[in-house]
Amino acid sequence: MLDQGAPPFKRTPSAPPSPGLGARLMRRKPVERLVAEGGQGEGGSLRRSLGLWQLTMISIGATLGTGIFVVLGEAVPKAGPAVTLSFVIAGLTALFSALSYAELAGTIPVSGSSYSYAYATMGELIAWICGWCLVLEYGVSVAAVAVGWGEYLNELLHGTIGVTIPDALSAPPGQGGIFNLPALIVVLLAMAFLLGGARESARANTVMVCVKIAALVLFCAIGVQGFRSGNYAHFMPLGMAGVSAAGATLFFSYIGFDAASTAGEEAKNAQRDLPRAIMLSLVIVTALYVLVAAVAVGAKPWRRFNDSEAALAQIMREVTGQTFWGTLLAACAVIAIASVVLTVLYGQTRILFAMSRDGLVPKVFSKVHPRTGTPRANTVIVSLFCGVLAAAIPLGQLADATSIGTLFAFALVNIAVVVLRRTRPRMHRTFRVPLSPVLPALGFGFCVWMMGSLSAVTWVVFGAWMAVGLVVYFGYGHRRSRLAAPEVK
């Protein structure tokens, strides 16, 4: 018989079921949360001190110089005189992606660039893959450009004091060297500027950008005197395959606007200025690239571009018959390429800052120094890694690895802009991609096509990098993600 005085039985409410693995991998970070966390780090906040001019200079600084001063000597043997067409194709591919970047940068003005855009639209796993590609893109790009800086430094030393740094200390292993000391030095110099603060680094970059533009204009003015129309007689000797292969190699020269988008949390008016800086810088850079490449091939037969990373200085010397102009260009290139290292290294640290704040990489990368407002530990760690990489790996392998990481990230951005249009159609946008989704689809298609032009070895390296990234994500980031915190209650 039941006890009439006993309290009625109460059912304990069951805990909500834990999300499955698929749901956890697809969890998205709300745009409002991304924007609200902007600038916040461990122990301090980033400072908003950059205007349109500084953002444009960061974008140009990260872009202008890489393809012209460094990789032209590698691209010309692949495409012949049609290397000018390779620059146009790479620039067109970049333009489609830049339009998508401009819309997302004005809508989600944060430091994570395409990583953050993917997190808001396609979920955590895709965001991690994108961020891991950006680590490859930025980190390897810094190293690739630093290698070319050493070549121009030797040109400068030879033209001024008649000595050069021995190959053992100025070339990477496999190319007659033991350790590329100049490449390490330029990365450490860039690190010193970044530790001083974003505004101070932007000022130094602006000066260097003005120097590099002046140097390229000077090259065109002198190089055109040696122009021979016969050098264009066989415009496309290696066919369209050579043009696309050269374009894929050159594409990493166009990551400047991506670097500008990483400054979203340090811009005074990011939603207004970021889209403008991205588009303005891309137009300026593409025009200069095509002009300088056309003059260079016109002044020197394409078969004589023998993988030299200091091709422009050599052309100046050959055209004038004097060492002075080549030495002057080498001096400008030393300054110009240093600005690429500075701005791309800046972008790398800010992407890791955003990933760390989300819990996907260790907290040390999001610690902000209270006095300078910069992620100091992050900057030192990234700089040392990139410096050692630059000192030990040949340029060609670095450039192609950068290209495939860049193209993959850009392809995801073109998808993200379409997804956000569908999921958040009423969100305020300071810039809208025209003819969407047609242009984003073209941007995606161009990226995939250019990725297919890269060598099998580059794909193997990329696949290995992705495999390592997935191991890191499932071993660390997946469990420590800040979006996972509510599920662990």
Q: Reduce the secondary structure of the chain to three states and give it as a string.
A: CCCCCCCCCCCCCCCCCCCCHHHHHCCCCCHHHHHHCCCEEECEECCCCECHHHHHHHHHHHHCCHHHHHHHHHHHHHHHHHHHHHHHHHHHHHHHHHHHHHHHHHHCCCCCCHHHHHHHHCCHHHHHHHHHHHHHHHHHHHHHHHHHHHHHHHHHHHHHCCCCCCHHHHCCCCCCCCCCHHHHHHHHHHHHHHHCCHHHHHHHHHHHHHHHHHHHHHHHHHHHHHCCHHHHCCCCCCHHHHHHHHHHHHHHHHCHHHHHHCCCCCECCHHHHHHHHHHHHHHHHHHHHHHHHHHHHHHCCHHHCCCCCCHHHHHHHHHHCCHHHHHHHHHHHHHHHHHHHHHHHHHHHHHHHHHHHCCCCCHHHHECCCCCCCCHHHHHHHHHHHHHHHHHCCHHHHHHHHHHHHHHHHHHHHHHHHHHHHHCCCCCCCCCCCCCCHHHHHHHHHHHHHHHCCCHHHHHHHHHHHHHHHHHHHHHHHHHCHHHHHHHC
pLDDT over 90 at 428, yes or no? no
User: Which tops the pLDDT comparison, 40 or 102?
Assistant: 102
pLDDT over 60 at 246, yes or no? yes
Query: Per-residue pLDDT averaged across 238-250, rounded?
Result: 85
pTM of the full structure: 0.82
User: Which tops the pLDDT comparison, 474 or 316?
Assistant: 474
Give 7's pLDDT tier (boundaries 50, 70, 90).
low
pLDDT over 80 at 359, yes or no? yes
Which region among 165-174, 306-315, 374-383 has the lowest average model confidence (pLDDT)? Answer: 306-315
Q: 368: closest CA among 37, 10, 18? A: 37
pLDDT over 50 at 299, yes or no? yes
In the chain, what's the furthest Cα-to-Cα distance? Answer: 114
What's the mean pLDDT when you consider all of the chain?
Answer: 84
Query: Per-residue pLDDT averaged across 216-225, rounded?
Result: 90
pLDDT over 60 at 5, yes or no? no
Give 398's pLDDT tier (boundaries 50, 70, 90).
low
DSSP assignment letter at 454: S
Query: Per-residue pLDDT averaged across 264-276, rounded?
Result: 88
Query: Per-residue pLDDT averaged across 99-110, rounded?
Result: 90
Give 111's pLDDT tier (boundaries 50, 70, 90).
confident
Provide the pLDDT for residue 487: 45
H-helix or E-strand spanning residue 481: none
Which region among 148-152, 225-229, 371-375 has the lowest average model confidence (pLDDT)? Answer: 148-152
